[in-house]
Amino acid sequence: MAAPDYVPNDTAVANRHYVSPPRRPQPWVANRPAELTNGQPTGAGLGIPGPDQGYALRLARRFEGQLLLGPGEHADDAIAGCVGVALKRAASFGRAPVAADLEVAFRVFGFLPPGPDESLVAWRKELFAGVSHPHHYAEARHLVDLVPESVLRMPPNEIEAACAADISSLLTHQ
């Protein structure tokens, strides 16, 4: 669009364009202090990295009204403990978390129908107590380790059937 004559027009500014920096003659080397040169570290308590893991917290809030909580149990603790299990499942498939991952995690610990027996509620009450507090990372990791990867790779309908039969068979009681 043409500008009126009284508008200043600096043509030197208009002729500027992007110029890339000169090429670096030496190759890039991973030599920074926090650089992972041998791939992702593995070991106890390190977990499995996966994409978009924060989305699991948003998905978990959708289940909040459906959770079967016993007396003294809190939804925040159930969500905090089960999100880690859901993330382990999603990362084992190499993808971001989806609602089915959270459904599996909640169902394995008896937070979704069919409801668990009273012995499992008493057992999980101790396990999940205070897990939502940031200082209880070790306890949250312990919950994740209770569910074997073979169980997490099962389809949600098979897990639902296994929960109806014997929910404690899905967990490794440590």
pLDDT digits (tens, 9 = 90+) for 128-138: 999 999 899 89
pLDDT over 50 at 73, yes or no: yes
Nearest to 144 by CA among 100, 75, 83, 98: 83
Q: Where are the domains of the chain?
A: 55-170
Q: What is the pLDDT of residues 87-100, one digit of tens each?
A: 999 998 989 999 99
Q: What integer is the mean pLDDT of 72-84?
A: 93
- Given a cut of 50, whether residue 174 has pLDDT beyond it is no
Cβ contacts of residue 50 below 8 Å, gap of 6+? 87, 90, 91, 94, 95, 96, 97
Q: What is the mean pLDDT of residues 20-35?
A: 78
The pTM score is 0.73
